Chains A and B, each alone.
Chain A
């Protein structure tokens, strides 16, 4: 059941929702389409569901042209952000819907349908709720009914459109874990759309990060987080410090922080360095290049402490995350001055300072010195 999307494009009147998107989805994979609103992720999902059609490009499922099939022939389970339950039908009738609308020849017997419905309701932990109407259920319960309804037709592909978007934080977290377990049980190829990076990182086997109708990067959550391919991915996933870097005389420099090598051998004059808050080292020894930073605020956030550091040399405020116990060890308090330097950074060469659209090259930089450990 390999799903092969190649060169998909979809234009709406004033913008390109999808711009030459290619993606291959392996059988049993749990893939997240992650991006801000308007990035084209929902359009992509709707094309797979047969609710929209691309202007160009193709979708093949095991070599068969998927786009010629109508939505109702595609054997797809679809779950919507706002549940889209049939509110005039009971929970059991909702789940049975996909079986009842089948042609007489393919339709299971009444008893078989009832059994399948009960089985599915048990599966989504809603046994005993069959006779209720959707209005009598909570949001989390409704979304589980929607999932049971989608699973009833034994789909080849499960598509979830912001499935937790309408739920409150607590329910969202439980349902997320539960969905992951369900996927491990069923091994059903699943694609879900989300704008919540945390959700994507936690749930998916692979993430496709989308921006302005294009896929910026496809990879495992680790790869997306540790080796972002583009500045957009750096900024969209997790928190990050963005620093302008100049490349002169075989050196890269941002203020007092100077690296004695230029991976591009003088080809690019400017670059942008992205440094994650947890990759900022504090109290760097004097023989290493570092910024003198002024500690402005300490935000205690449970096990992690967020620090707000002002670096006068580059006139920028940096954010650093450290473990709670390190605050006392390093003797940190608001107002002190510290030597601060990145442990690792992702550096993108750009043509014009401040313009991410002119990105040329990427360099994954790691500090050599063990002092940073």
Chain B
């Protein structure tokens, strides 16, 4: 048997499994148990409600959109922070983490203050028909805000370890800067970019605090699924809340599995098979 660094494989594995079970699986099992109280009939009725459907759609489509925005902008920011040396770089680098540290409600209130029809930016945007606060764009904006650090922080170390040799080789082979980026750099970053994307997506789907302030929570328009769950709880409809939570959980799980499959495919070159 190969020597292992951590002593007692059985012990460490057992501990890890027990911990995961206690922290992650047990609450989920409770959720599933609670949700089962609604019955199949109740579930169909819940899902076929237009309001539920609209909320779920906003949550998932909005979160996906926000994650895409974060992936693109995050890549850009990570690139600038890693590749360029300029005064204030460290300060900018520290700023990236702020959305992690800020209580989400504070972020929501700040965003609302900016984009509300009488806010700093809103007063200029709303007269032109661009409504952000109290509308789906506001929801996405809040989701972008809370998910932003994930992409930057996952990409940074990988970008730093990227060999400049490879870019120089591409250049000497006649590739333009764009070709070098899209054919060489991006494919090598893609698996990491997907990890950041998945984290930002998961964060955006589950986000509650900041979104409810800026969303306006208009049913059928700017109401997110987590809010619907809270509403059901306030009506003491525990089974309904649990069932909706379960639906979100399963949908998120499926999304994450798809991303992980995509990631495996994009990393096929790294597999050490002979």
Interface residues of A (CB under 8 A from B): 49-51, 71-74, 76-78, 80, 82, 84-90, 97-98, 101-102, 133-136, 146, 149-150, 152-153
Contact = CB atoms under 8 A, between A and B. Distances in A.
B172 interface: yes
Contacts of B163: 82, 84
Chain B CB within 10 A, most for which of A49, A85, A97: A97
Given A97-B175, A101-B175, A84 B269 contact: no
Nearest to B189: A88
Interface stretch (B25-33, B179-187, B223-231): B179-187
Interface residues of B, number: 24
Contacts of A97: 170, 173, 175, 183
B188 A87 contact: yes
B174 A98 contact: yes
10 closest residue pairs by CB, A with B: A84-B165, A98-B173, A78-B172, A84-B169, A101-B175, A88-B187, A133-B269, A88-B269, A72-B174, A71-B171
A80 B165 CA distance: 7
B188 A88 contact: yes
A116 B74 CA distance: 40
Interface of B: 163, 165-166, 168-176, 179, 183-184, 187-188, 268-274
A74 B174 CA distance: 8
A135 B269 contact: yes
B85 to A, nearest CB: 13
A69 B208 CA distance: 56
A49 B167 CA distance: 13
A87 B175 contact: no
A101 B169 contact: no
Contact of B174 (A80, A88, A101, A146): A101
26 contacts: A50-B171, A71-B168, A72-B172, A72-B175, A72-B176, A76-B172, A77-B172, A78-B169, A80-B168, A82-B165, A84-B165, A84-B168, A85-B166, A86-B170, A90-B269, A97-B170, A101-B170, A101-B174, A101-B175, A133-B269, A134-B269, A135-B270, A135-B271, A136-B273, A136-B274, A153-B173
Nearest to A149: B173
Contacts of B274: 136
Nearest to B167: A84
A315 B156 CA distance: 59
Given A82-B163, A97-B170, A101-B183, A135 B272 contact: yes
Given A97-B170, A101-B183, A136-B274, 11 more contacts: A49-B168, A51-B172, A74-B172, A82-B163, A82-B165, A84-B169, A87-B188, A101-B179, A133-B270, A135-B272, A152-B173
A1 to B, nearest CB: 17
A218 B15 CA distance: 68
A84 B170 CA distance: 9
Nearest to B270: A135
Given A101-B176, A101-B179, A133-B269, A86 B184 contact: yes
Nearest to A146: B169
A71 B168 CA distance: 9
B176 A78 contact: no
Contacts of B170: 86, 97, 101
Contacts, number: 85
Contacts of B175: 72, 97-98, 101
Contacts of B271: 133, 135
Contacts of A76: 172
Nearest to B173: A98
A163 to B, nearest CB: 13
Chain A CB within 10 A, most for which of B169, B176, B187, B274: B169
A90 B170 CA distance: 15
Nearest to A133: B269
Contacts of B176: 72, 101
B188 A101 contact: no
A50 B268 CA distance: 33
Nearest to B274: A136
A79 B188 CA distance: 20
A208 B126 CA distance: 71
Contacts of B173: 72, 78, 97-98, 101, 149-150, 152-153
A72 B269 contact: no
A169 B123 CA distance: 72
B112 to A, nearest CB: 43
Nearest to A76: B172
A136 B272 contact: yes
Chain B CB within 10 A, most for which of A72, A77, A78: A72
A328 B21 CA distance: 80
A87 B172 contact: no
A45 to B, nearest CB: 11
Chain A CB within 10 A, most for which of B166, B174, B271, B272: B174
Nearest to A75: B174
B273 to A, nearest CB: 7
A101 B184 CA distance: 11
A85 B254 CA distance: 35
Contacts of A87: 188, 269-270
B172 A49 contact: yes
Contacts of B169: 78, 80, 84-86, 146, 149
Nearest to A78: B172
Contacts of A146: 169
A72 B171 contact: yes
Contacts of A74: 172
Chain B CB within 10 A, most for which of A80, A84, A149, A152: A84
A150 B168 CA distance: 12
A5 to B, nearest CB: 18
A50 B274 CA distance: 38
Nearest to B188: A88
Nearest to A97: B173
Contacts of A72: 171-176
A86 B171 CA distance: 12
